[in-house]
Amino acid sequence: MMPNQIVGVGILIAILGLGGYLASQQVLTEKVETLNVTSPLKTKAPEKDKKEMSTHYNKLTAFEASVILDKGTERPNTGEYNDTVESGVYVCRQCNAKLYRSNDKFEAHCGWPSFDDEIAGAVKRKIDADGYRVEILCNNCDGHLGHVFEGEQKTEKNIRHCVNSVSLRFFPEGTEPPEMIVLTK
């Protein structure tokens, strides 16, 4: 090899090395940028989901509002409390009113949390817009909970409150739910 060839190869190696170094730096920079982009988005996402409503009650995500305010229904077997069996109390997600006790929850195999009793006075009933089902609502804030069915012979009480998980918030025994929010008029 001639000396000038050796120098040429040396330069080539140096260029390749620099290229590799720059490429790795770029990857690192991209990674850092990706991290910087995703973390604030993750923390801001719930804010984006929020919907206009009274500021007095708990703020709701778009999905919570679509069920609680617009009387929607979550897809069967998707609710977070569908299979919950722990002892505790279920409160209204919008106003914290105590609605159901875990003792009254039973497995109805219908895809939604089911209760055969309510906490006295906490739930009101109304003929559904469809004209035949009975809608259940939070007695304090009128938040939509689901529907109540009678005469199915699923439990001794013969009642099934079919409730959307997203209308509820569960507080295990030993934890205290926040105060029920009552609007001043």
Asked if 146 touches Zn ion (CB under 5 A), the answer is no
Q: Which is nearer to Zn ion, 94 or 164 (CB)?
A: 94
Asked if 56 contacts 92 with a C-beta cutoff of 8 angstroms, the reply is no
> Contacting Zn ion (CB under 5 A), which of 64, 74, 88, 94?
94
164 binds Zn ion (CB under 5 A): no
**In this structure, what token pair is assigned to residue 136?**
């259940």
Residues that bind Zn ion (rule: CB under 5 A) add up to a total of 8
Q: Does 92 bind Zn ion (CB under 5 A)?
A: yes
Q: Please tell me whether residue 143 binds Zn ion under the rule CB under 5 A.
A: yes
Catalytic residue positions, numbered? 162
Residue 65 binds Zn ion (CB under 5 A): no
Residue 66 Cα distances to 18, 32, 49, 112, angstroms: 55, 36, 11, 17
Q: Which is nearer to Zn ion, 73 or 155 (CB)?
A: 73
Q: Of 5 and 55, which has the nearer Cβ to Zn ion?
A: 55
Contact with Zn ion (CB under 5 A): which of 58, 102, 114, 140?
Answer: 140
**Rounded distance between C-alpha atoms, residue 128 and residue 123, angstroms:** 15
- Any idea how long the chain is? 185
User: Which member of 68, 89, 123, 138 binds Zn ion (CB under 5 A)?
Assistant: 138
**Contact assessment for residue 165 and residue 80, using Cβ atoms and an 8 Å cutoff:** yes
Q: Give least dist CB 67 to Zn ion, A.
A: 13
φ, ψ at 176 (rounded to 5°): -110, 120
Contacts 24+ apart (CB under 8 A), 75-78: 75/111, 76/110, 76/111, 76/112, 77/111, 78/111
**Applying CB under 5 A, which of residues 141, 148, 162, 168 lies at the interface with Zn ion?**
141
Q: Which residues bind Zn ion (CB under 5 A)?
A: 92, 94-95, 97, 138, 140-141, 143
